[in-house]
Structure 1
Amino acid sequence: MNRLNKTLLITVLLLGGILWLQHRRTIRLTEERDRFRMNNTALLSDVKRMRIDSATMAVDAKALKLTIDEYKEFRAEDAETIRRLGVKIRNLEAAARHEVEVKAPIDAAIRDTLIVRDTIPLLRQKVEMVTPHIHFSGLIEENRLKGDIKIPVTLNQAVWVEYKGWWFWKRVKAIRQAISSNNPHVEIRYSEYIRIR
């Protein structure tokens, strides 16, 4: 009878351990499935573009979730850039990348100006355009325009979580981000936000 009890106890403990391991595996697989579903939705969804006011453009995009190994594999160039900045990839919480394109019309007046080179005054034509969003100045010399253009841009990023379910059954449905530019001549072409697990 004593031997039967020991065998039964060992069997119950063994089955309990197997059941616990299977439960943990099911939870891990469910989390992986949800992460892949969220990543597929983020990759396949369109970027929503908004004009907030006359000078502010915004983009709304979903975020990706990657493991450190996936990030190193799929974003090797970005990982190398982060490494060169002195940040260890294993300490990385999130990485964002934004591609912007500046398209601005230039409408500048040409004026004559006097330049002194080696104590010799030279008459040249000067081009200048200064607005809140574009700073452009240049000289026309030898049938060439040489100058500088500055287009100041501030990108603001907001990241938030969308949940599904209610009360204590809430799960993360998506992580979203919105990026806005304060310059109307700057178009945000692509935005990517990756959370590292």
Structure 2
Amino acid sequence: MKNKLISILLVAVLLSGAAVFVLVRQCKQFKEDRDKYQSNTTALLSNIKRMQVDSTTTAVDVKQLRLTLDEYKQYRAEDAKIIEKLGVKLKDLQAVAKHTVEVNAPIQAGLKDSVIVRDTLIVPVKTLAVKTPHIRINGIIENDSLHGNIHLPVNLHQAVWVEPKHKFLWWRWGVKAVHQTISSDNPYVEIKYSEMIKLEK
């Protein structure tokens, strides 16, 4: 009788331990899901922070989204197809970023008289030329048509940085959010949209 009672108690303790273990793991998973949800909600609801660094450099700051690979395939299917066309396996992805830029450059240039020679025939034309550090335009106007090219050199600089969850004096710990700051060094190139997604396995 005593041995039976001890074995019942032992089974009860083992079952209780297993239940506690399962509950602790579920609690940890719930906390991770809650933190991910809060982080994504904050990232989606916060506006893109725009900065004018100097007379030619503008920047935007966005917070990182966190998605699983299946969520990325579901919500960013077009982007996933483009990545696969590049020969990158989606299962190997760590993070993805996407930026939308817009060029809005005013053009002001005088027209000059010139000539071009075609099969020994001299054809009068007008030429157009703009050359600045941020925009270069060369063109020929002939028969009310403009033929030429526009060149806008631009460097996009990307910085990924961590916003700490807790600060005390010079100590910082925990991660509140991961930010991505993108800057353009051409005043005519505006970053309209930027996003960064960390893929979790």
2:16 aligned residue: 15
Write the letter of the residue equivalent to 1:21: V
- Work out the CA distance in 2 between the residues paired with 1:169 and 1:63: 19
Distance 2:120 2:178 in 1: 63
- Give the distance between the partners of 1:51 and 1:166, measured in 2 at CA: 27
Query: Is 1:108 the counterpart of 2:109 in the alignment?
Result: yes
SS at 1:53's partner residue? coil
Give the secondary-structure state (helix, strand or coil) at the position aligned to 1:114: strand
- Within a 5 Å distance, the mapping from 1:46-125 to structure 2 comes to 46-125=47-126
What are the Cα deviations for residues 127-154 of structure 1, in whole angstroms up to 9, with x where unaligned? 1101111011111011111211111111
Deviation (angstroms), 1:166: 5.6
C-alpha separation between the residues in 1 aligned to 2:12 and 2:166? 38
User: What's the TM-score once normalised by structure 2's chain length?
Assistant: 0.93
Aligned with residue 194 of structure 1, among 182, 192, 197? 197
**Alignment length (residue pairs):** 197
Counterpart residue number, 2:28: 27
CA distance in 2, matches of 1:164, 1:108: 53
Cα deviation 1:27-86 (Å, max 9, x = unaligned): 111111111111111111111111111110011111111110110010001111111111
Q: Separation in 2 of the partners of 1:121 and 1:169? A: 73
SS of alignment partner, residue 24 of structure 2 = helix
Asked if 1:184 corresponds to 2:190, the answer is: no
Show the counterpart of 1:151: 152
Q: Specify the SS of the correspondent of 1:165.
A: strand
Question: Gaps spanning 5+ residues in structure 2: where?
Answer: none
Q: Which stretches in structure 1 are left out of the alignment for 5+ residues? A: none
TM-score (norm 1): 0.95
Offset, 1:9: 1.4
* Secondary structure, aligned partner of 2:18: helix
Q: 1:169 to 1:58 in 2, by over 3 A?
A: closer
Distance 1:38 1:81 in 2: 26
The offset of 1:169, in angstroms, is 9.9
Partner SS state of residue 183, structure 1 = coil
Secondary structure at the residue paired with 1:153? coil
Q: Take 2:10 and 2:111, find their aligned partners in 1: how far apart are those partners? A: 95
2-structure distance, mates of 1:70, 1:130: 47
> Partners in 1 of 2:153 and 2:78 — Cα distance?
27
Structure 2 letter corresponding to 1:32: D
**Letter paired with 1:196:** L
Question: Does the C-alpha gap of structure 1 residues 173 and 56 become closer, same or farther in structure 2, counting only changes over 3 Å?
Answer: same
Q: Could you tell me which amino acid in structure 1 is paired with residue 94 of structure 2?
A: E
